[in-house]
Amino acid sequence: MNAIEAKGITFSYNKTEVIHNVSFILKEGEFLGIIGPNGAGKSTILRILCRILIIKTGTITVFNKDINSLAQKELAHLFGFVPQETHFGLDFSVEDIILMGRYPYLRPFQRETKNDCEAVERAIQYANIEEFRRRRINSLSSGERQRVVIARVLAQKPNILLLDEPTSHLDLKHQYDIMRLLKELNSQGMSVIIVNHDLNLASLYCQRLILMHHGKIYAEGTPQSLINEKTIKEVYNTAVKIVTHPDKNLPQIFLK
């Protein structure tokens, strides 16, 4: 059974077609990267999957269940979504933010259980944010805030992680930390879809890539097969030099 099967998705924002007839599969336990130029529709795909945007054309099944047949709370058991940026209107503590990740599992007047608190503890350890767990969220840098959001999605314990440009605001060390964390989670069975601008990161960490262009899937395959000078030139209209990473058999892009 595939984790996700998407068929014939078409989506328009205000009469402008943004996604056209997109179909793809996510295998269980796969680490999939969606790449492509600005406006290609990458982030839109993630939002469609967790039903932040609702499609009128096409079907999406998650573990063989149609997403439109599921309540939003049930969907939150399956998908954990990390947006590119989160603005915190109210200045909660980091612990409180992460505890909110347990919301999909709580009934109306129910208190948080021991189980929930343990999930929060493990998430804090995993995301390595023990040092600022009691601080107010708006007192942290944007990189630190991003790690808190990732910790929250870990506490949510979904089957599939959806991350929209998770490393774009992070410094080198934290980029590496996050990607390594995702890789570790993936090796333990978590399916991951990541949208990333950074083609080199995508190449190093994703098992498979989907390259989008003008709302359609231009190509898909392993980084080795997808990232080549011809394809990059056609989609990004930029001439680049592809070099194999000295330690891994993976392509890396250098600007000419």
d(CA 246, CA 252) in angstroms, rounded, equals: 10
CB of 108 to another protein, least distance (A): 4
Task: Give min distance, CB of 89 to another protein, in A.
Answer: 4
**236 in contact with another protein (CB under 8 A):** no
CB of 67 to another protein, least distance (A): 12
Return the number of the residue (11 or 79) whose C-beta is nearest another protein: 79
* Contact status: 133 vs another protein (CB under 8 A): no
SS3 of the chain: CCCEEEEEEEEEECCEEEEEEEEEEECCCCEEEEECCCCCCHHHHHHHHCCCCCCCEEEEEECCEEHHHCCHHHHHHHEEEECCCCCCCCCCEHHHHHHHHHHHHCCCCCCCCHHHHHHHHHHHHHHCCHHHCCCEHHHCCHHHHHHHHHHHHHHHCCCEEEEECCCCCCCHHHHHHHHHHHHHHHHCCCEEEEECCCHHHHHHHCCEEEEEECCEEEEEECHHHHCCHHHHHHHHCCCEEEEECCCCCCEEEEEC
- Exactly one of 16, 38, 71, 134 binds another protein (CB under 8 A); which one? 71
The binder of another protein chosen from 7, 65, 73, 248 (CB under 8 A): 73
- Please identify which residue in 20, 28, 29, 106 interacts with another protein, judged by CB under 8 A: 106
Q: Does 72 bind another protein (CB under 8 A)?
A: yes
From residue 5 to residue 24, the character string flagging contacts with another protein as x (rule: CB under 8 A) and all else as - is --------------------
Question: Which range binds another protein by CB under 8 A, 2-10, 75-83, 127-135, 248-256?
Answer: 75-83
* Beta carbon nearer to another protein, 74 or 131: 74
Bridge pairing between strands 160-164 and 191-195: parallel
Residue in 59, 86, 159, 207 binding another protein, rule: CB under 8 A: 86
- Closest to another protein by CB, 22 vs 161, is 161
Binding-residue total with another protein (CB under 8 A): 31
Comparison of 139 and 187: residue with beta carbon closer to another protein:
139
